A and B are shown apart, each in its own frame.
Chain A
């Protein structure tokens, strides 16, 4: 049972003078707002939107840089009962053509009443915002000229009406707009707050996560808004340029909770000079939660090893399984535990050949390890099913289906996609995993799965092995399946960047060592290894290696691979969507 009937009611209940958001810009500049100041600014936005004809149910698209103005615009729309959606703001890291196609597709699908941009929005992008006769383009700066505040009429209980739309990560193609009700969001937050034992008197969230992504929007904006927690945030771009600032902010503000994708657990220690680690203090952190599929024990270990000496508790690193379609989290590891998320070791051969989990000792030859994403949140249920839909027991790997009280209503304006995704109330996640003794383990994406000679392989596992070679830049490896018509199965092809271009002089030697590592780790041989100079692999907007785009680039440079693929584009049929 929710304490509030809407997100706005939750905001209204916040203590007036408590600091809500600190927007950290650099050492000398930051902006603070209390809950009261935030409410006033949001009401002003609501008034402006209403003056532009926005009312209940209208979509309001917000394309603004990360910061308090974007957040007040979002909540201003919520105050009117309108349905806001954040879209990524163009930035120097995103290919303009890629951004433009994403922007055009998403704005057309939402048919918004209002598109809110800031005064610095690049002119050359404007023509790609799909504006119908019913859409108004509003420059956020214009709002500053107008006085007065919305005479706020409390909305009727609309807990089951649409609150907002959140999109999947990235800016490519036709992203799916996940439509969420106030009730679903509030129920999710209630579960999350309970599992994390949040306390407004002592907790403070740190975030560099984009607001157009569920981690940034739900965990680092809606959760603190509803639970009345302070949050210190910086822009994702500032973080990616200077990841060390994360350590600086957590130390200065004594932040207690944060969420990050898996790659960040390696990126921060690697990009922060070791000589400066001792300047920082992470002892305030209660939980730093890895929300990736899958969660990598090696990444968590790297972060823990680096920062134990500056106070990072051995129980601070936690995991969860989250997706926009469930508002956010499905599972959360037990933060009261004494040793972080559960980890198990299983027989590697049985896992690959039969997708069967047979626990073995850590030291057993050929064992593979899995890090749990945690236990189900209250009112959540999970099923693991085979390709034919048959229910599997805890020791079999299959597709993860979920049912919960915070599940989405559907993909906005995409009834066919929705019908495929939600069947009999169960959401088909497209993730593969197993549910053993109350712990959910996610092993990879169903569409990424490589079947090589009857064995099931996940590209991430091969990439992790190849990335461990000292000459290879970890995180800049792509493993893919290329169909071999002679054998009727996939061959494994690996593209990897060397740390420095000079290392390419030793290609033959490095290639041999990589092959040996992969055979030792998986028992399978790689068909081809392509060693490339730094910066060759195509990265997604989230900084991850983009498999599909890298595959295309490889085919362009090595047309001989097309003949191996037998004229069919077998990879594309299963191409990954992380780019």
Chain B
């Protein structure tokens, strides 16, 4: 697993306050109800930090953030280099 993905998982565990939960890159987060839609703003900001990309939020739907793997794939698909 890439270190950025590991950092994202650690961030999510803190965000949802479930320290004992085992989250993999493919664990469904939104569709399983682990993360609500309002927390996705924080998640997207974290994703911008980890990828050093600017992610246009208008190009992102909840399904694009459903797993950690999808988050990074989405960042690559729609992200733009940050100044």
Q: Chain B: which residue is nearest A235 at the CB level?
A: B58
A65 to B63, CA, bound (A): 17
Name the interface size band of chain A.
20 to 34
Q: Chain B: which residue is nearest A543 at the CB level?
A: B38
By a CB distance below 8 angstroms, the chain B residues around A95 are 36-37, 62
By a CB distance below 8 angstroms, the chain A residues around B57 are 91-92, 235, 237-238, 240-241
Given the contacts A26-B54, A66-B58, A238-B57, A92 and B15 also touching, CB distance less than 8 Å: no
What 1/0 mask marks residues of chain A from 76 to 97 whose CB sits below 8 Å from any chain B CB?
A: 0000000000000111111110
The count of A-to-B residue pairs whose CB atoms sit within 8 angstroms is: 57
Inter-subunit contact B56/A93 (CB<8 Å): no
- Smallest beta-carbon distance A189→chain B, Å: 28
The prevalent SS among residues of A at the interface is: loop
B36, B38, B44, B64, most chain A CB atoms within 10 A: B38
- Smallest beta-carbon distance B20→chain A, Å: 15
Inter-subunit contact B83/A240 (CB<8 Å): no
By a CB distance below 8 angstroms, the chain B residues around A96 are 62
By a CB distance below 8 angstroms, the chain B residues around A28 are 80, 83
- Smallest beta-carbon distance B54→chain A, Å: 6
Q: Chain A: which residue is nearest B42 at the CB level?
A: A535
What 1/0 mask marks residues of chain A from 517 to 551 whose CB sits below 8 Å from any chain B CB?
A: 00000000000000001010001000000000000
By a CB distance below 8 angstroms, the chain A residues around B37 are 92-95
B37, B54, B58, B80, most chain A CB atoms within 10 A: B58
Name B33-56 residues within 8 Å CB distance of A: 36-41, 44-45, 54, 56
Inter-subunit contact A240/B41 (CB<8 Å): yes
What 1/0 mask marks residues of chain A from 24 to 41 whose CB sits below 8 Å from any chain B CB?
A: 011110000000000000
Inter-subunit contact B40/A93 (CB<8 Å): yes
Q: Does B2 have its Cβ within 8 Å of any Cβ on chain A? A: no
What 1/0 mask marks residues of chain A from 229 to 251 whose CB sits below 8 Å from any chain B CB?
A: 00000010110110000000000
By a CB distance below 8 angstroms, the chain A residues around B62 are 92, 95-96
Partner of A501, one of B17, B39, B40, B44: B17
Report the count of interface residues on B (CB-CB < 8 A): 23
Name A202-257 residues within 8 Å CB distance of B: 235, 237-238, 240-241
Partner of A92, one of B45, B54, B60: B60
Inter-subunit contact A26/B38 (CB<8 Å): no
Q: Does B65 have its Cβ within 8 Å of any Cβ on chain A? A: yes
Q: Does A438 have its Cβ within 8 Å of any Cβ on chain B? A: no
Inter-subunit contact B41/A241 (CB<8 Å): yes
A25 to B36, CA, bound (A): 26
Q: Does A143 have its Cβ within 8 Å of any Cβ on chain B? A: no
By a CB distance below 8 angstroms, the chain B residues around A237 are 57-58
A348 to B29, CA, bound (A): 47
Inter-subunit contact A65/B41 (CB<8 Å): no
Partner of A535, one of B38, B58, B83: B38
Partner of B36, one of A89, A120, A535: A535
Q: Chain B: which residue is nearest A120 at the CB level?
A: B59
Q: Does B22 have its Cβ within 8 Å of any Cβ on chain A? A: no
Partner of B61, one of A91, A240, A535: A91
Given the contacts A241-B44, A533-B17, A535-B38, A90 and B61 also touching, CB distance less than 8 Å: yes
A533 to B36, CA, bound (A): 14
By a CB distance below 8 angstroms, the chain A residues around B54 are 26
Q: Does A365 have its Cβ within 8 Å of any Cβ on chain B? A: no
By a CB distance below 8 angstroms, the chain B residues around A122 are 61, 63
Q: Chain A: which residue is nearest B48 at the CB level?
A: A241
Q: Chain A: which residue is nearest B83 at the CB level?
A: A27
Inter-subunit contact A93/B38 (CB<8 Å): yes
By a CB distance below 8 angstroms, the chain A residues around B45 are 241
By a CB distance below 8 angstroms, the chain B residues around A27 are 83
Inter-subunit contact A92/B39 (CB<8 Å): no
Q: Chain A: which residue is nearest B54 at the CB level?
A: A26
- Smallest beta-carbon distance A569→chain B, Å: 24
- Smallest beta-carbon distance A69→chain B, Å: 12
By a CB distance below 8 angstroms, the chain B residues around A92 are 37, 40, 44, 57, 60-62, 64-65
- What are 29 A-B interface contacts by the 8 Å CB criterion? A25-B56, A26-B56, A28-B80, A65-B58, A66-B58, A89-B58, A91-B57, A91-B58, A91-B60, A92-B57, A92-B60, A92-B61, A92-B62, A92-B64, A93-B37, A93-B40, A94-B37, A122-B63, A124-B63, A237-B58, A238-B56, A238-B58, A240-B57, A241-B57, A501-B17, A535-B15, A535-B38, A535-B39, A539-B38
| Interface residues, chain B, with chain A CB atoms under 8 Å away | 15, 17, 36-41, 44-45, 54, 56-65, 80, 83
